[in-house]
A and B are shown apart, each in its own frame.
Chain A
Amino acid sequence: MNSPSVPVDSPPSAWEELVTAALLGTDRRTPPGCAPGQEAPLVLLDTAAVETVRRRAGLRPAPAAQRPRPAPEDPRPALPSAAARRLGMLLTDRPGVGGGRRGTAPDLMELLPQWLATANDRGFAPPPQSLPALLDAARGRTDLRPAALAFAGPRAVWLARLNPDWRFALRATPGGGAALPHLDDPAEVQQLWQEGLFAERVALLSAIRAGEPAAARELLATTWATERAEDRLMFLDSLRSGLGPQDEPFLEQALADRSRNVRATAAELLSALPGSALAARMAVRAGTCVALDHTGEAPTITVEAPHECDAGMERDGVVAKAPAGRGERSWWFGQLVEATPLGTWPGRLGGRTPREIVALPVADDWQGELHAAWCRAAVRQRDGEWARALLGSPSAPEAGGPGAVSLAERAKLLGTLGSAERAEWVGGFIATHGLSEAFQLLGICTVPWAEPLGRAVVDALNIARDAGSYPWSFSGVMGLAERCLDPTEVSRLDGLLAVPDEPEDASPGAGGYWAEAFQRLVTTLRLRAAMLEELEPSSGSGD
């Protein structure tokens, strides 16, 4: 039964007899206390009524179970009250069902990521009672998880241990939250490394790697030989952050690993170190494939792809088997060039700069293969100069259309540049090519968008409106603009809010829909401005 506890001084047998008699029926069982001649059912009900009230009145508390260990302290300052209310609202707004026109109201759930990022920047702690809603939101949206869990803090990890629905928080907590020992205590570190769960060990290794790259590598080396293959892969991957020349001996050794995936990852990491022996070997291989031909009118690059994938190449991470539909030789060639230090090429190609090299014609349709491999190398080696050369001018005609370098590759190349340069390039691209191809590129720009980029987007939206199309052809960019435009740009949009007169050739009603879309954009920007202001450390403390 559910009552707080059984009454202590009631004789249990009498009650049980009553229940038995009630179950069987008084025709079959005479209830206790019933004298001959009395109406048995009524005597039973009378007695049961007295007993029921007596049992309830005599209830005592139950013994306490083992109390949970208190949650760890969260040293961060509490959110200002206005920001706490805003968080409540952002978390109550569940994404709508069905599609359709979105009207002029902002989508609050879309603002949560920025809210969380800002709250994390400013180092606030959440109100404890908001943690269940935060964890539920993080559970539903994996993209929110890192920021939501960082904001939720140590108490959320404590809470997640009590509710299986939130188990993901124990695995996913960045840096392990409160679970990590003091990194300066070697004994504690060793103990967790030897005995911890896999997730805890990954978190430990990443945390140490972030502070002292060498120490993490040394820790990993102590148990490397005994780790399982899939664990080796994950641990090896953690060396990606803070990768440096000192890591080379360890990675060289991993090139001989039993697991193919471990070998491939080790090779990839080594090739990102331009000074490594592996990179030098790859440079020799790639160098024999690429030459400059001066016999024609203009110098031309010629390509002679490898004829076989030998054991040495395989050991250095070249995957021998080409995917379906790709020629083996071009597949091997691409991998060689990708793993070759970009610094090799000026020497090999007549002392030219990257920009000059990229401008050289390539014989026999090898340009696509070669430039794509250089793009991958520039991304892997984070080489800004090569990235710039391969990106070319944003206003060049081939930047917007099909060219040697695809938009996806351009997006990755842009990732190697500083945020201001990135924004300027994308802004220039939009100014020339419009919005239809820009979505992918906008996604990698830093939020809030730098001024020239924001201006380019707003101008392009304005042009699209004047061209008479419907705004939902640009809903992706609109959505991005709501999240990424700098709120201070709001004034620039004032002129776009009115419903314009409809020109003859425009799509019916488009003007009204555009006005609505711009209203939503302005509303969202205002809301974001308010949100950010509420998160100012000094605000909300009263007048």
Chain B
Amino acid sequence: MTQQGVRWTADQVLALAPDAASRKAGSKLGAAGPWSEAGSSDEGTVWGLCKGSGSKPYQTVIDIADASGPAYKCSCPSRKFPCKHALGLLLLWAGGEGSVPPAQQPPDWAQEWIKGRRQRADEKRTVGASGSSTASVDPEAARRRAERRAVRVTAGATELEQRLADLLRGGLADAEQAGYGMWEETAARMVDAQAPGLAARVRELGAIPASGPGWPVRLLEECALIHLLDQGWLRRERLPDALGDTVRARIGLPASADGPPVRDRWLVLAQYDTADTKLTTRRIWLYGAESGRTALLLSYGAAGRTPELALPVGLALEAEVSAYPGAGQLRAALGEQFAPPAPAVTRPPGVTTTEATARYGEALRGDPWLDSVPVTLDRVVPTPDGDSWQLADVDTDSALPLTPAARARSGLWRLVALSGGAPVKVFGECGHRGFTPLTAWPEGQGEAVQLC
């Protein structure tokens, strides 16, 4: 593995920026000017001195070897994280060997921090391994807490059933007039009932009447699925274990990733963020080259902060992941990592559009509330279809339409340009709304291209 090979792209670096201002400030610093004594090591450390307004340059060091995301240290007074100096240095490093040459040994100040950091990580790991049993200090108290919560969720689900029945009795047409407020209030009741999953679903109902033609069908579908979830909770004792776990996860009850750790060479297929006012959610899709499994890592950041976990698309890491409980659940947690991420040479195997929809259909059996499944499509051509776009199989007459959200993104045009009318391999999410492309590979040779 050469150092040159694992350098990130500017996009990957800029994805770490906590906000637009730091992104801009970081870009400005991503040039050789203010930097001196910059270097990088094979172990994944990047360091440099950045001249600021003071007489003493800032000492900036970044550890990119850790799969749980890069770690930063900078002697500047900024409270942003990572600061513009860390972003600038990473950009400089991403730019090529000229400005951040590979060196054998980091300077002392960087070395010290790295050593301390690695040590703490090791300690945490050993404590974590032995500490899992001590975590549940008092199983009896925990059981009582869970019971109390179950009672509140049951009350919430019962109330929600009542509200849905009232809605259907009066007709959905009335819901159009009732507007957003009604749903907001109901959602707040579900938050009180400690059922965040129900609350989120109810909140989304509020937006449907304004979502354009066909809204009654979508509103009925979503109401029916909430009803199904309520009923699943109320009769959870009678459900098979796996489905019961899925219901609990969909309601929003806490669970821990207690599945057996799977060690594999995990390809990073996609990484993208969605944000609302309070929370940034980062989704990272992984594909296990040997197990053939697809796993989803979730990472959260409070408003204005990037989630900490960052895995650039196109890399692969040797690591363990453990699944969360529930039938058809792909969510997993990243465990021990055995080597720093390195460029992936393999691509995930793909399927046809017909196989993709079949896969979604099958997944619904385990989890009827599933909106989409991750799928890699093989040999598809992005094809204009009226105002919309679809991915058409090159060998058959079948195609998957893109979701409205995917059509509006700039990634669509990168995909079209990459294809140039020729078949490409596309990873994305396939569901009842259509297909959302996230990453693509050109025919023949060529690196993964991020579309999100």
Chain A interface residues toward B at CB < 8 A: 1-4, 18-19, 22-28, 39-42, 44-46, 48-49, 51-53, 55-71, 82, 85-86, 88-89, 92-93, 96, 103-106, 108, 128-132, 155, 158-159, 162-163, 519-520, 522-524, 526-527, 530, 533-534, 542-543
When the two chains form their complex, are residues B11 and A64 in contact, meaning their CB atoms are under 8 A apart? no
Contact status A522-B170, CB under 8 Å: no
How far is the CB of B170 from the nearest CB of chain A, in Å? 5
Q: Are A65 and B392 in contact (CB under 8 A)?
A: yes
Partner of B361 from A39, A45, A51, A59 at Cβ < 8 Å: A59
Question: In whole angstroms, how far apart are the Cα atoms of A366 and B35 in the complex?
Answer: 60
* Alpha-carbon separation in the docked complex, A543 to B227 (Å): 62
Chain B minimum-CB-distance residue to A48: B224
> Which residues of A are found within 8 Å of B292, using beta-carbon distances?
none
Let me know if B95 is at the binding interface, CB within 8 A.
yes
Q: Do A70 and B420 contact each other (CB < 8 Å), given the known contacts A2-B401, A64-B393?
A: yes
Known: A2-B433, A70-B420, A530-B99. A65 touches B390 (CB 8 A): yes
Secondary structure at chain B's binding surface: helix, strand, loop or mixed?
helix
User: Which chain A residue shows the least CB distance to B214?
Assistant: A1
Whether a CB of chain A sits under 8 angstroms from the CB of B178 is no
Instruction: Give the residue of A40, A42, A89, A530 whose beta carbon is less than 8 angstroms from that of B10.
Output: A89
In the complex, A44→B218 CA distance in Å?
15
Q: Which chain B residues border A88 with CB–CB below 8 Å?
A: 9-11
Among the listed A3, A86, A128, which residue makes an inter-chain contact with B420, where contact means beta carbons less than 8 Å apart? A128
Contact A45–B414 (Cβ < 8 Å): no
Instruction: Say yes or no: B11 contacts A132, CB within 8 Å.
Output: no
User: From residue A58, how far is it (CB to closest CB) to chain B in Å?
Assistant: 7
Question: Of the 9-residue stretches B25-33, B41-49, B134-142, B296-304, which lies at the interface with chain A?
Answer: B25-33
Output the nearest chain A residue to B97 by Cβ-Cβ distance.
A82
| Distance A59 CA – B410 CA, assembled complex (angstroms) | 27
Would you call B433 and A41 a contact (CB within 8 A)? no
Asked whether A523 lies within 8 Å of B171 as measured between CB atoms, the reply is no
* Interface presence of B174 (CB below 8 A): yes
Cα A103 to Cα B167 in complex, Å, equals 61
Please tell me if the beta carbons of A45 and B227 are within 8 angstroms of each other in the complex: yes
- List, in ascending order, chain A residues with CB within 8 A of B354's CB: 60-61
- The reply to whether B27 and A93 form a contact with Cβ atoms under 8 Å apart is yes
Docked CA distance A45–B225 (Å)? 8
Of B165, B168, B219, B419, most A-chain CB atoms within 10 Å: B168
C-alpha gap A527/B171 in the complex (Å):
66
**Contact status B365-A2, CB under 8 Å:** no
Q: Closest 9 CB pairs between A and B?
A: A523-B33, A25-B171, A71-B420, A70-B421, A48-B224, A105-B28, A61-B398, A64-B392, A41-B168
Sampled A-B contacts (5; CB under 8 Å): A27-B169, A48-B221, A57-B365, A68-B421, A530-B32
Q: Are A3 and B361 in contact (CB under 8 A)?
A: no
Q: Are B420 and A64 in contact, with the CB atoms below 8 A?
A: no
A44-B364 CB under 8 A given contacts A60-B357, A62-B400: no
User: Inside 8 A of B225's CB, which chain A residues have their CB?
Assistant: 49, 52-53
User: Which one, B179-187, B313-321, B379-387, is touching chain A?
Assistant: B379-387
A54 nearest CB neighbor, chain B only = B364
Given contacts A65-B399, A526-B32, 8 further A-B contacts (CB under 8 A): A19-B217, A25-B168, A61-B399, A62-B401, A64-B383, A103-B28, A105-B33, A158-B420
- The one of B10, B169, B171, B417 in contact with A85, judged by C-beta atoms closer than 8 angstroms, is B10
Taking the closest CB of chain A, its distance from the CB of B245, in whole angstroms, is 18
B357 to chain A, nearest CB (A): 5
CB A38 to nearest CB in B, in angstroms, measures: 12
Q: How far is the CA of A2 from the CA of B433 in the complex (A)?
A: 5
Q: Does B239 contact A (CB under 8 A)?
A: no
Quick check: A41 and B169 within 8 Å, CB to CB?
A: yes
A493–B9 Cα distance when bound, in Å, is 31
Q: Can you name the residue of chain A whose Cβ is closest to the Cβ of B217?
A: A19
Q: A159 and B417: CB pair below 8 A?
A: yes
Residue ID in chain B nearest A521 by CB atoms:
B33
Evaluate contact between B91 and A89: CB separation under 8 angstroms.
yes
Q: B433: which A residues are within 8 A, CB to CB?
A: 2-3
- Does the CB pair B169–A49 fall under 8 Å? no
Q: Which of A49, A56, A106, A128 contacts B31 (CB 8 A)?
A: A106
Determine chain A's interface SS by DSSP, over half rule.
helix
Q: State the Cβ distance, B106 to closest chain A Cβ, in Å.
A: 22
Give the residue among B399, B420, B433 with the most A Cβ atoms within 10 A.
Answer: B420
The reply on B69 being an interface residue by CB < 8 A is no
Which of A2, A26, A51 is most buried by chain B, counting CB atoms within 10 A of its CB?
A: A2
Identify B383's interface contact among A1, A24, A68, CB under 8 A.
A68
Chain B nearest CB from A74 CB (Å) reads 9
List, in ascending order, chain B residues with CB within 8 A of A534's CB: 96
Q: Are A25 and B392 in contact (CB under 8 A)?
A: no
- In the complex, A130→B227 CA distance in Å? 47
Assembled-state Cα–Cα distance A71/B423 (Å): 12
Instruction: Give the distance to chain A from B148, nearest Cβ to Cβ, in Å.
Output: 28
- How far apart are the CA atoms of A233 and B164 in the complex, in Å? 72
With an 8 A cutoff between CB atoms, is B260 at the interface? no
Contacts of B155 in A (CB 8 A): none
A7 to chain B, nearest CB (A): 10
Residues of B within 8 A of A70 (CB): 420-422
Q: Does B14 contact A (CB under 8 A)?
A: yes
The answer to whether A158 and B169 have CB atoms under 8 Å apart is no
| B397 within 8 Å of A (CB atoms) | yes
Nearest CB in chain A: distance from B404 CB, A: 7
- Cβ of B94 within 8 Å of any chain A Cβ, yes or no, is yes
Contacts of A108 in B (CB 8 A): 27, 31
- Cβ of B172: which chain A residues have Cβ within 8 Å of it? 22-23, 25
Minimum distance in angstroms from B397 CB to a CB of chain A: 5
Residues of A within 8 A of B216 (CB): 19, 22-23
CB atoms of B169 and A527 under 8 A apart: no
Partner of A62, one of B171, B399, B431: B399
B414 and A132 within 8 A (CB)? yes
B34 within 8 A of A: yes
Give Cα A129 to B28, complex, Å: 24
Interface string of B346-370 (1 = CB under 8 A from A): 0000000110110011101100100
Question: A56's contact among B11, B218, B432, by CB below 8 Å, is which?
Answer: B432
Smallest Cβ-Cβ distance to A126: which chain B residue: B417
For A540, give the chain B residue with the smallest CB separation.
B96
CB contact under 8 A between A56 and B390, given known A65-B385, A82-B96, A159-B417: no
Residues of B within 8 A of A39 (CB): 165
CB distance from B38 to the nearest CB of A (A): 13
Residue of B161, B169, B220, B384 contacting most chain A CB atoms (<10 Å): B220
**A136, chain B: closest CB distance, angstroms:** 9
A106, A128, A520, A522 — most chain B CB neighbours (10 Å): A128
Q: A59-B357, A88-B9, A530-B32 are in contact. Are A163 and B413 (CB under 8 A)?
A: yes
B24 and chain A: residue at smallest CB distance:
A96
Is there contact, CB below 8 Å, between A527 and B31? yes
| Bound: A28/B357 CA distance, A | 37
- Verify A41–B164 contact, CB threshold 8 A: yes
CB distance from B28 to the nearest CB of A (A): 4
Would you call B96 and A85 a contact (CB within 8 A)?
A: yes
Min distance, Cβ B196 to any Cβ of chain A, angstroms: 21
Complex Cα gap A58–B12 (Å): 38
B322 contacts chain A at the CB level, 8 A cutoff: no
List, in ascending order, chain B residues with CB within 8 A of A520's CB: 33
Judge whether B227 and A49 touch: CB under 8 Å. Answer: yes
Given contacts A4-B357, A128-B442, contact A48 B413 (CB under 8 A): no
B345 part of interface (Cβ distance < 8 Å) = no
| Docked CA distance A24–B435 (Å) | 33
Q: B77 contacts the other chain (Cβ, under 8 Å)?
A: no
Contact B416 A159 (CB under 8 A): yes
Closest-by-CB residue of B relative to A94 is: B24
Chain A residue, CB-CB nearest to B8: A85
Asked if residues A49 and B2 are in contact (CB atoms below 8 Å), the reply is no
Q: Residue B223 at the A interface, CB < 8 A?
A: yes
A129 / chain B contacts, CB cutoff of 8 Å:
414, 417-418, 449
